[in-house]
Amino acid sequence: MNNDQADSGEINVHADHERVSEFVEFATRRLHGIESRTQASQVASEVLRLNDAVRRGAHGRIDFRQHPQDFAAVLIANADSTNANATNANAANAHTADGKTRLPAGTEKDGELLERSILEIAAMLRAGQLSSEQLTRLSIARAKALQPVINAFIAIHEEKALQAARVLDRELAEGHDRGPLHGIPLAHKDCFERTGESMTVGSIVTGQTPGLRDATILQSFEAAGAVDIGPLNMNEMVAGPTGRNPHFGDCCNSWDPDRISGGSSSGSGAAVGAGIVFGSIGSDTGGSIRLPASMNGLFGMKPTYGRVSRAGCFPRAFSLDCAGPLTRSAEDCAVMLRAIAGRDTRDPSSLDVSVPDYVAALQQAHVGSRIAVLGGMGEFHPEIAQAFGAFVDLLAQSFGRVTQVESGLFETCYAMADVMSKVEAATLHGDWMRERGSQYSQGVFSRTEPGLHIPAARYLESLQVRAEITQEFIDTCFADVDVLVCPTMPIPVPTREEADVERPGQVFGVVAAITPLTRPFNYLGLPVLTMPIGVDANGMPIGAQLVGRPFGEARLLAIAHHASAAMGWNRLARMHELQARN
């Protein structure tokens, strides 16, 4: 290509961008009836980027025999072997705390109780060394004390939680044991419908509309005997990886309040990371469980698509969303996942696949696992690369040789997930954007606007080729491998100032910098567990993702459980080191 041709190409690209910008400016108002709050040129750049990437990715793949529902069949057909011996999902809370260490009453400071594992606390409750009411009071006291610092809660339901705890104490005294979560304080992202209560979704747009029915997940935890102490703060409309919220205040990192908590399940990461509750359920469209888990030094599970019911969960994109737990250990994660996994007739996308006893599987599901680094994912910050390299070395010592695989599909998967997320969000929010557009934060409004203009053909292409691309990824990357590993984020945890998505023009760059390693797995529907593997030069946690075959959650949890023990990970010690430095 000579210089004249190169100049001509640049002119054509510029002209294309100008024309699309003009169309965006016209179409936002005329076709959609919405007053834009974003520069047309920025929206045009997003539309062109995603249009071109999806068109390239779908080229040569469209076949009249394909159907979007083939995706579920691909997930089921490629299920991990650890799911083969799964028990019936109705036995979800059969696991007991028998055999766990029972501590003499009064040997621990109150604050230390909140740092113990779910099964350790369950044993103490059954031994009569502790009551759920006492534990819930401790949890609420810590929530109140830290609320001005990290702003993790939308509301703290003190009386309701204490009343529930008293009932659960009476039940246990009478021999009615609901399982390991009986009497355990939890709190969940405020995107789950509650009967008679208004779900904010971190926004002022939705108004005060009482919920008609508890989300299935909340019903499951109530049946398991968990105590819900209140809804948690989050990025507005489950849209954002930072925890910044101009309506309810930023949710801050539990390790360093000057840094972002991650999002959109920001309150989940902060509340669990601060030792307020023993676990939390978040939702994940492009990393919204894994990112706050990683930034707060936690374990966060994005389950296989369809593994956990989303009935009553406010969506960002129904084709991508997953709900799952954030906890301080793989064992706690296993306890919580066991309570919510399984088919739900209220959610037509949930899949009828048997559910293992994830806690029991911690002892053997990792045996013989073949692990590979997923390469070709771009550059990582040197501190991330160093910590990840040490983690890979540890895996090799614990599980044998770690190989490397690469896939040319990663960027395509990111773009297709981005298209699905933006189009489905724009569809859901269209009326509100028309009628109450000024009530949205700048970041969420700007991120949603491109979805109004992405061609319908690109959206449907993303859906239609999803099964084929997922099968190709599995065939390529899991041919001789059971688990893939990669960092959760390519950069250290940013400060809140660095990740200010409310500054005009900032949101697209901030999101792109934080989410490149998480979003593609939502398109593929695969289970992903993030776990802490070290800290950066600022003393902030670094996470790694374990990626499995469909329904391979048991294997991921078992590997994380044993790898964390081999590593000697101590969240509290690392947090105390950081506090001492500051």
The HSE-up count of residue 564 (CA atoms within 13 Å, CB side) is 25
Q: Residues 541, 294: contact at Cβ < 8 Å?
A: yes
Cβ partners under 8 Å of residue 280, min gap 6: 186, 187, 188, 189, 232, 265, 267, 268, 269, 271, 272, 325, 326, 327
Q: Residues 238, 428: contact at Cβ < 8 Å?
A: no
Strand partners, 87: 355
Cβ partners under 8 Å of residue 14, min gap 6: none
Q: If you ran DSSP here, which 8-state letter would residue 372 be given?
A: E
Count CB-CB contacts under 10 A for residue 56.
12
The per-residue pLDDT for 580 is 86
Q: Residues 403, 429: contact at Cβ < 8 Å?
A: no
| Interatomic CA distance for residues 263 and 317, integer angstroms | 15
| Interatomic CA distance for residues 378 and 375, integer angstroms | 8
Q: Which domains does the chain have, with CATH numbers?
A: 70-95+131-413+453-566+574-581 (3.90.1300.10)
CA angle 184, 185, 187 (to 5 degrees): 135
Count CB-CB contacts under 10 A for residue 576.
11
Strand partners, 495: 259
Instruction: Kindly state the tokens that stand for 510.
Output: 């901030």
Helix intervals (H) in 374-409: 382-399
Omega before residue 264 within 30° of 0, cis: yes
- Positions annotated as catalytic residues are 189, 264, 288
Give me the DSSP letters along 508-577: HHHHHHHSTTTHHHHHHT--EEEEEEEE-TTS-EEEEEEEESTT-HHHHHHHHHHHHHHHT--HHHHHHH
| Interatomic CA distance for residues 448 and 425, integer angstroms | 6
Q: Consecutive sets of 10 residues in the chain, 582 residues long: mean pLDDT of each?
A: 49 84 96 96 97 97 94 98 66 40 43 94 97 98 98 98 98 98 98 96 92 97 98 98 97 98 98 98 98 98 98 98 98 98 97 97 97 95 98 96 96 98 98 97 97 98 98 98 98 97 92 98 98 97 98 98 96 89 80
User: pTM for the full model?
Assistant: 0.94
**Side chain identity at residue 57, one-letter code:** G
| Interatomic CA distance for residues 304 and 159, integer angstroms | 36
Count CB-CB contacts under 10 A for residue 212.
10
The per-residue pLDDT for 425 is 98
The per-residue pLDDT for 89 is 42
Q: What is the chain's length?
A: 582
Count CB-CB contacts under 10 A for residue 166.
14
| Interatomic CA distance for residues 292 and 244, integer angstroms | 12
Write the CA distances from 233 to 36, 270, 274, 342, integer angstroms.
27, 9, 14, 27
| Interatomic CA distance for residues 564 and 395, integer angstroms | 10
Q: Residues 199, 211: contact at Cβ < 8 Å?
A: yes
The per-residue pLDDT for 473 is 98
β strands within 190-312, DSSP E: 227-232, 279-284, 299-302
The per-residue pLDDT for 579 is 85
Place of tokens 């990393």: 287
Q: If you ran DSSP here, which 8-state letter would residue 90 be given?
A: G
| Interatomic CA distance for residues 549 and 568, integer angstroms | 27
**Side chain identity at residue 170, one-letter code:** R
The per-residue pLDDT for 457 is 98
* DSSP-derived 3-state class of residue 162: helix
Strand partners, 102: none
Residue 131 has phi, psi (to 5 degrees) of -110, 160
Instruction: Kindly state the tokens that stand for 146.
Output: 């830290």
Q: Residues 340, 214: contact at Cβ < 8 Å?
A: no
The HSE-up count of residue 529 (CA atoms within 13 Å, CB side) is 32
Write the CA distances from 224 to 325, 360, 461, 462, integer angstroms.
15, 18, 41, 38
Angle between helical axes of 330-340 and 118-126 (0-180°, round to 10) = 70
**Side chain identity at residue 540, one-letter code:** M
